[in-house]
Copies of this chain bind each other. A is one copy, B any other.
Amino acid sequence: MKVLIWNEHRHEQLNEEVAKIYPKGIHGAIKSFLETDDIEVETATLDEPNHGITDERLAETDVVVWWGHLAHGEVADEIVEKVYQRVLEGMGLIVLHSGHFSKVFKKLMGTGCDLKWREADDTERLWVIDPTHPIAEGIGEYIEIEKEEMYGEHFDIPVPDELIFVSWFTGGEVFRSGCTYRRGHGKVFYFRPGHESYPTYHQKDVQRVIQNAVRWAKPTAREFSSYGNAQPIEK
């Protein structure tokens, strides 16, 4: 199984504090806990040619993990279109935190994807709403993150196909923080935590969710559907 982690990789270069938390970049941190015997992980970043995303690379990728924030507008529309099409063909997509505003997520959702936010060291508790879901495997009743950016409802997304986590924040907000969607032949998972100024991706249960999600999102082995003019059943 092949996973491609895409990271904007700007905060880590612009901000010393972020660089201290993620010295190998957010992509490097995620790579370190996703690699196992049966998962091959590569990374790509915004400033590489084609943002590190080529047709060949996408064609053999099972799941993309996406982190972006400052520079969604700099991601080329044609690259967005390639990733979007690959999701419809069956590739999984895990969208993290501020990736809610990425072009590819908005295009897949068909909504504005806006929300409330606050940077004020709120504590976040992600409660497991769906205890049956494989993405919640190994997770307790909730994940507690001592300090995080707040994201609050209304979150302008379509009704999730599955709602796995709902977050509580100190300041009085709730948020649908773990949501799945099917788009074409592909599976999409949005997972809220991961503001660049906090060590969220170093936390074990957050890592476990992303590990679970990557396995859940792998393509279902089936031929692609046929569309267009069709003959009737023969009798």
A residues at B contact (CB < 8 Å): 88, 90, 107-112, 114-118, 120, 122-123, 125, 127-134, 136-141, 150, 152-154, 156, 158-159, 161-163, 166-174, 176, 181-187, 220-223, 225-233, 235
**Once the chains bind, are B118 and A231 in contact (CB under 8 Å)?**
yes
B182 A114 Cβ-Cβ under 8 A: no
Return the contact of A222 from the options B138, B153, B162 (Cβ within 8 A): B138
Residues A230 and B118 in contact in the complex (CB < 8 Å), given A156-B88, A174-B167:
yes
A158:B182 contact, CB within 8 angstroms: yes
Q: Which of B154, B171, B227, B232 contacts A115 (CB 8 A)?
A: B227
Identity of the chain B residue whose Cβ is nearest the Cβ of A217 in the assembled complex: B132
A153 touches B171 (CB 8 A): no
User: 17 new A-B pairs (CB below 8 Å) besides A132-B182, A132-B185, A172-B233?
Assistant: A108-B111, A109-B110, A110-B110, A110-B158, A110-B183, A114-B227, A120-B232, A125-B174, A128-B154, A138-B222, A141-B226, A152-B230, A159-B182, A167-B174, A168-B168, A170-B232, A171-B232
Query: Are B183 and A173 touching (Cβ within 8 A)?
Result: no
Q: How far is the CB of A76 from chain B (nearest CB, A)?
A: 18
Give the Cβ gap from A96 to chain B, nearest Cβ, in Å.
19
Q: Complex formed: what's the CA distance from A186 to B133 in Å? A: 9
Taking CB atoms, residues of chain B closer than 8 Å to A222 are 128, 131, 136-140
